[in-house]
Structure 1
Amino acid sequence: MDNSTKYITISVAAFVCYCNTLWGTFVFDDSEAIVKNKDVMLHTPLRDIFRNDFWGTDITLNISHKSYRPLTILSYRLNVLYSNNKLDAFQFHATNVILYGVLCLITVTVFELFLKKSKYATNVHDIAYYSALLFTVHPVHTEPVAGLVGRADILSSVLFFLVLLMYQKYRNATGEIVLFWFVMFILMTGCAVLCKETAISILGMLIIYDIYREKRRSTSWWDLLTFWNLLKYMTIISCGLVIMYYRFKVMNFEGPIFTTNDNPAAFSDSFITRLFTYNYLYLLNFLLLLWPQWLCFDWSMGCVPLIESLCDKRVIFVICFWIVTAYAAYTLFKKNLDNAVLDARIMGVSLMLLPFLPASNIVFTVGFVVAERTLLLPSAGFCLLVVIGLKKLERKYHDNRKVLA
């Protein structure tokens, strides 16, 4: 199958999956972020977008949710502009579907980037295509595409992958053009953060990707710790710290104020309750990727009861989840260490974990229980791992048939 056919197939799949959303209205959080948000309308001064939070409230106030996404709000204003200063839900939804299609197409190139330097290099294009197609039709994307507030996730994800592609350009560049690509991927990172804060995780992804590309059989782990590599990583980290400093400065270095309904586990006095509830939520998120039968636009208001006792039967599932995760991590890292080279599964796992980290309650407390929109990027890593696994099974099946023959 040629590239044009692959891209057309993915584009059609994205449209078919979400064309029914085009005639939807403004629902749930859309009413607060768009319909009631004065910053979306053209009569509001443009500078107010950069002073207020995602919901149109002065971000310096205590009542603000501190979500600072001015570029996402700017995209809403463009919809209003092209609708003759009206809130045309059709155009808003059409923009979401188009952006989602763009995201799905970009994943093909990103997956190919991950696969070119791996033992799966002979099937690069097939694995990348099937991974992108699986990503396109994954049901967990329903919330970010069908819900207009999910545009923040789609936009930041598009820029997240563009930063990765620009970083590869930076790695391959020589001479004066090196500085250009460095400035470009740092500026693009800043734009991604201005679409949604969680996009800052791309900087960690860049460091892992760089190590992944540098590690070869002839290169020991210690050889990676060269002066120039360390300088490069410290520069990336420093740029990330600068971006986050100004991000926190905008909100006066004050965090949002959440209620018990937003995140019940965070308000529990019991460490055991928080530990097991949070880990149960991680399990739920993984199950949504593996078996998305419980899709819900709002997981608050007691949808997931706290695990307040070790006698709760869900504790067994959490412990099993720990065991399976630990075994999988041990097996993966052992194989990579024994082979003295990293393979594409490392990038798949990193893509699953790093973008999800800001939503994990580990770095800071979040204002939700489960949010399917936070799984948009992690699902890309998951889809890549699934297809790699299926290809591996297919290869074993054919090898066994040859032996039997």
Structure 2
Amino acid sequence: MRNNETDMEVNDEKSKMAGNGKYIKIPEKYVICVLTVCASCVCYLNSLNGDFVHDDLYAIQNNGDVNGRNPTWSFLKNDFWGKSIADPRSHKSYRPVTVLSFRINYHFGQGSPYGFHVVNVCLHALMTVLFTYVCQTTIRLPAQCCLISGLLFAVHPIHTEAVAGIVGRADILAAIFFMLSFIVYIRSLEPSWSCLKQAPVTRYWSLMTLSLSMATVSMLCKEQGIMVLPLCILYDAVVCSRILQHYRSWHKIKPFITRFIFISSVGVVLVSFRLWVMRGTLPKFLHQDNPASFSSSFFTRVFTYGYLWFFNVWLQLFPSQLCYDWQIGSIPLVESLMDARNLATALFVVTFNLLLLKCWKHAKTDDPDPAVFSGVLFYTLPIIPASNLLFPVGFVVAERVLYLPSAGLCVLVGYGAHILMRRFPHRRNLNLALTIYCLVVLATKTVIQNYVWMSRESLFVSGVRILPNNAKTHYNYANYLKDTGQTDAAKIQYQAAIRLYPDLPSAHNNLGTLLNDTVAAEFHYEAALRISPDHKGAMINLGSSLIKRGQGQRGQKLIDRVLELDPENVDAMIVKAWVTMTEGKWGLAEQYYERALQRDPRNSETLYYYGKYWHQRGDLERAVKLYRKAFIKDSGQWMAMVSAGDALKQLGKYHEAEEILSRSLMISRSVPALDTLGLVYFYLGRVSESINTYEEIQRLAPDNAESLLHYAQILGNLGETERAEEVLTEILQRNPHNPDAMAQMSNVLGQQNRHLQALDYLMNAIKITQRENNQDRLETLLFQKASHYKDLKRYDEALQSYNETIKMNPKRIDAHLNIGAIFHLQRHYTKAKNHYEIVLKQDPENRIAKDNLAKLKNIQNKHTHS
């Protein structure tokens, strides 16, 4: 094979100028490279319009080292996710080169995912051409074999997660520098090493140094990159230096021993550096991340790990079912010797040993064939860090980590196809057709799989469909549904995740946030804390719930505990600010909000709740500015849009309110947005649109009492009292003790002159309000009761209720005005005059008070003249 390739190159050189200079024949190896690169690009063209999905959100969008929120050089001391590597909770994944590439991409692409996808596809094309080049020049495969292996690597669907999923760039970059390090290492040896009868000397130490530098960069792209050092050593030992033949002669293997010591020393330094970066500690994973590593049974661990080796190979040979997450429930543990999967493991062990035996036989010949040995090396070594052999890892199976190992499998498959064609020449066309068919099928699968990675929705829907027993896929899909306002569907998915894996704390916590039943919600928060006592989200949510229920002391202890564990926790600061605000400590609340904004000026939640703070303080203009900032920072922050619309409605800026509310409805057809928009339409005089909006709310959320109350109020104002009564009756049938619905029903019945029935509803509402000690509502209800008595001409009872209202709010103008009017009718003119004057002191331009006072003067003048 080696001689055939040399002959081909000579012939190509001779034929560069042929046909009397009419054309130049391009060398075959360049044609192969171009074909594989084109295939790699074409297969991933449809991935370019993909969004940020799954881990992209944390590693890129929300990573301060990438989006520029953190100082420029902070990526050198932080992990892949932007957390300090020294933090005990850090993932310990130190990949500064990859993070730097993300930061540059983010800067020039202004945060658009399109630029990230373009770079990923280009890097995959580069890796493909490097792999093909290695097959041609280093492994010395025949041209046909190089083309098959290169095309297989270019189109294999196992690479979709690494290429279409942006964070997979870590694997691609590590693979590129891995290949470059290997290529340069071989180039550093004397050119004719393949013809020597002894180990070749290191002719270019500068290239050797460059190879080790690239190995370092590969490791700093992703940890498995360091495995290029043992790969170079083993390839050098078996193929280049032929240690198995020369090991008895010291002078023949001395150059290799020198390289071995040098490279091993560098390897020790790199591993020591990596351990120093991790502060000598491994990342802490949970049972859900890798159940086998938590098993107390040695048998279970060994046989499960063995099966996972087989499963990784199977996934590459038959990639019919691919999923972004293979965690909880996807691959059950092997806990019995009678488990049928042990046969698959045995098949893998036998096949692997046969390959090793073949490598051994070839290595002992005078002219070893490096194809099988190279394939085994390239597959086995890069996957070892992810195999649980050296240390537990944070996943069961991850398709992205198979990006580089698949190069070895592509070599073996391509070489196997070449052998079949050579041994069965009479079936060459059939074998060629089958090979092309397989490549087309794999390329089609890749194109289809790219669509899965197009958006969060498509990715999570695919996960639930492919692995319905995986609790994590249900959990992730539930998170997406929750974020997009599909709360009912989200509840179902969270419940499915908990049913499949009851010890998933975040599923309990997130489900609790969606439940209207406070008791049920707190049950799930407490379940999350039983599983994970330091779960900050559960502590914050349980604390908030307890505070709302009046158990402020216990709730604040939980919030304070979060701030003790994480003093810079923005969510805890927001809750703390809200609590101090409800206690009337406005200044302290403002300090917490300002502190939270200093910690994260772009946090949309902080901006939203700070806007609510100023909304409650009555500074509506400032509130609107903060709401606008919130949804500019996070286009999905539809509640900020709704609150902005409500504030603009209160300011009388109805057209601006309509525009913002309409935008929020494009994100989520939420009831609060529809409710506020319905009121805006009514104030704009667009009554039919207002009615249509509330009818839509009735269809979407027939149990939403607040929006139905507004609907009834509008119907009452339009004089449609019978329809308003029907709506209010529906509310009270679902909740007979709703004081707001009772008060509104009282108004509607009053419009129908059914004051006695109205008073019955109102009395019940007053009793409930007195128990709840809601002074503002009680004041309104007492005034309403007085008005009913006034309309019934039961003036003494009316005066009693108006006076009760004034005791609660001495400055209530309408109460004074009505008391004055009653005294006026009862001819208690002096008392009436006193109340009219109180009204005019507060509102000098009050027309009714002025007119009534003028009438009193006329009456008094008539009495005087008579």
Give the 5 Å matches for 1:26-175. 26-83=52-109, 86-116=110-140, 123=142, 125-172=143-190
Aligned counterpart in structure 1 of residue 262 of structure 2, from 214, 218, 235: 235
Partner in structure 1 of residue 210 of structure 2? 184
Partner in structure 1 of residue 223 of structure 2? 197
Larger mean Cα displacement after TM superposition, 21-30 or 204-213: 204-213
Deviations 1:10-39 (Å, cap 9, x if unpaired)? Answer: 222111211111111111111111111100
Instruction: Give the unaligned 5+ runs of structure 2.
Output: 1-26, 192-199, 429-866
Give the 5 Å matches for 1:3-402. 3-83=29-109, 86-116=110-140, 123=142, 125-172=143-190, 178-215=204-241, 219-223=245-249, 226-337=253-364, 341-398=368-425
Deviations 1:196-219 (Å, cap 9, x if unpaired)? Answer: 011000001111221244346995
- The offset of 1:72, in angstroms, is 0.3
Larger mean Cα displacement after TM superposition, 105-114 or 201-210: 105-114
- The offset of 1:345, in angstroms, is 1.2
Deviations 1:131-158 (Å, cap 9, x if unpaired)? Answer: 1111101111011001111000000000
Question: Whole-Å Cα distance in 2 between the matches of residues 274 and 151 of structure 1?
Answer: 31
Query: Is contact 1:38-1:56 (8 Å) kept?
Result: yes
Question: Whole-Å Cα distance in 1 between the matches of residues 243 and 85 of structure 2?
Answer: 50
SS at match of 1:7: helix
Deviations 1:320-367 (Å, cap 9, x if unpaired)? Answer: 332333334334423543667353211111011011111111111111
- Larger of the two Rg values belongs to structure: 2
Residue type matched to 1:90 in 2?
Y
Question: Whole-Å Cα distance in 2 between the matches of residues 202 and 22 of structure 1?
Answer: 31
Question: Whole-Å Cα distance in 2 between the matches of residues 400 and 98 of structure 1?
Answer: 37
Partner in structure 1 of residue 790 of structure 2? none
Query: Is contact 2:158-2:316 (8 Å) kept?
Result: yes
Query: Is contact 1:217-1:339 (8 Å) kept?
Result: no
SS at match of 2:139: helix
Question: Whole-Å Cα distance in 2 between the matches of residues 393 and 130 of structure 1?
Answer: 13
Question: Whole-Å Cα distance in 2 between the matches of residues 301 and 321 of structure 1?
Answer: 24
Question: Whole-Å Cα distance in 2 between the matches of residues 96 and 111 of structure 1?
Answer: 22
Residue type matched to 2:75 in 1?
I
- The offset of 1:390, in angstroms, is 1.4
Larger mean Cα displacement after TM superposition, 155-164 or 341-350: 341-350
Query: Is contact 1:70-1:194 (8 Å) kept?
Result: yes
Query: Is contact 2:201-2:256 (8 Å) kept?
Result: no
Question: Whole-Å Cα distance in 1 between the matches of residues 178 and 202 of structure 2?
Answer: 25
Residue type matched to 1:286 in 2?
V
- Cα gap change, 1:212 to 1:315, in 2 (>3 Å): closer
Query: Is contact 1:212-1:342 (8 Å) kept?
Result: no
SS at match of 1:222: coil
Deviations 1:178-233 (Å, cap 9, x if unpaired)? Answer: 23212211111111111001100000111122124434699534347733321210
Aligned residue pairs total 393
- Cα gap change, 1:219 to 1:298, in 2 (>3 Å): same
Query: Is contact 2:158-2:319 (8 Å) kept?
Result: yes
- Cα gap change, 1:370 to 1:400, in 2 (>3 Å): closer
Partner in structure 2 of residue 2 of structure 1? 28
Question: Whole-Å Cα distance in 1 between the matches of residues 317 and 221 of structure 2?
Answer: 27
Larger mean Cα displacement after TM superposition, 26-35 or 309-318: 309-318
RMSD over aligned Cα atoms: 2.4
Residue type matched to 1:189 in 2?
A
Larger mean Cα displacement after TM superposition, 305-314 or 153-162: 305-314
SS at match of 1:55: coil
Query: Is contact 2:136-2:146 (8 Å) kept?
Result: yes
Residue type matched to 2:62 in 1?
K
- Cα gap change, 1:312 to 1:213, in 2 (>3 Å): closer
Query: Is contact 1:216-1:340 (8 Å) kept?
Result: no
Q: In proportion to residue count, which structure has more helix?
A: 2
Query: Is contact 2:189-2:201 (8 Å) kept?
Result: no
Question: Whole-Å Cα distance in 2 between the matches of residues 134 and 143 of structure 1?
Answer: 16
SS at match of 1:355: helix
SS at match of 2:188: helix
SS at match of 1:172: coil
Identity of counterpart residues, as a percentage? 38
Partner in structure 1 of residue 585 of structure 2? none
Query: Is contact 1:114-1:347 (8 Å) kept?
Result: no
- Cα gap change, 1:203 to 1:302, in 2 (>3 Å): same
Question: Whole-Å Cα distance in 2 between the matches of residues 223 and 243 of structure 1?
Answer: 31
- Cα gap change, 1:191 to 1:275, in 2 (>3 Å): same
Residue type matched to 1:253 in 2?
G
Question: Whole-Å Cα distance in 2 between the matches of residues 213 and 322 of structure 1?
Answer: 24
TM-score (structure 1 length as normaliser) = 0.91
- Cα gap change, 1:140 to 1:270, in 2 (>3 Å): same
Instruction: Give the unaligned 5+ runs of structure 1.
Output: none
- Cα gap change, 1:252 to 1:215, in 2 (>3 Å): closer
Larger mean Cα displacement after TM superposition, 65-74 or 373-382: 373-382
